Structure 1
Amino acid sequence: MAEGYPLVPDDLPDLFKAAMRRLAASVAIVVAKGNDGPVGMAATSITSLTVDPPAVLVCVNRMTSLHALLEPTAPLSVNLLACHHQEISMAFGGGKPRSERFRVGDWQDAENGLPALADAQANLECVIDAMLAYGTHSIVIARVIRAQVSDAVAPLIYQDGGYL
Structure 2
Amino acid sequence: MAGRLSIAPSLARESLAPDALKAAMRHVAGTVSVVTAGGEDDRTGATVTSATALSVEPPTMIVNINRSSSTWPVIERHRHFCVNILTAEHQAVADRFAGKGGVKGKERYASAEWTTLATGAPALIGSLAAIDCDVEEIIERHSHAIIIGRVIAISLRGGSPLIYSHGQYRNLED
Could you tell me the TM-score, scaled by structure 1's length?
0.87
Pairwise CA distance, 1:109? 3.0
AA of the residue aligned to 2:29? A
Q: Does residue 84 of the first structure (1) align with residue 84 of the second (2)?
A: no
In structure 1, the partner of 2:149 is 142
Q: Aligned partners of 2:42, 2:77: CA distance in 1, in Å?
A: 19
Which structure 1 residue ranges, 5 or more long, are not aligned? 1-6
Pairwise CA distance, 1:12? 4.2
Aligned-residue RMSD, C-alpha: 1.9
3-state SS of paired residue (2:164): strand
Q: Does residue 160 of the first structure (1) align with residue 172 of the second (2)?
A: no
Pairwise CA distance, 1:73? 7.6
In structure 2, the partner of 1:133 is 140
Pairwise CA distance, 1:120? 0.1
In structure 1, the partner of 2:104 is 97
Q: Aligned partners of 2:167, 2:134: CA distance in 1, in Å?
A: 30
Q: Which has the larger radius of gyration?
A: 2
Q: Aligned partners of 2:53, 2:165: CA distance in 1, in Å?
A: 20
Q: Does residue 47 of the first structure (1) align with residue 59 of the second (2)?
A: no
Runs of 4+ in 1 over 4 A off after TM superposition: none
In structure 2, the partner of 1:19 is 24
Q: Aligned partners of 2:134, 2:116: CA distance in 1, in Å?
A: 16
After superposition, give the CA deviation of every residue in 1:10-67 in whole Å (9 maximum; x if it has no partner): 2443221110011110111111116833211111111110011101110000001111
- Closer, same or farther in 2 for the Cα pair 1:16/1:53, shift >3 Å? same
The structure with the greater share of residues assigned to helix is 2
Q: Does residue 37 of the first structure (1) align with residue 46 of the second (2)?
A: no
Q: 1:112 aligns with which of 99, 112, 119?
A: 119
Contact 1:73–1:129 (CA<8 Å) still a contact in 2?
no
Could you tell me the TM-score, scaled by structure 2's length?
0.83
Which structure 2 residue ranges, 5 or more long, are not aligned? 1-11
Q: Aligned partners of 1:36, 1:60: CA distance in 2, in Å?
A: 21
Which deviates more from structure 2 when the two are superposed, residues 75-84 or residues 85-94?
A: 75-84
Give aligned-pair identity as a percent. Answer: 34
Contact 1:27–1:157 (CA<8 Å) still a contact in 2?
yes
In structure 2, the partner of 1:4 is none
Pairwise CA distance, 1:111? 3.2
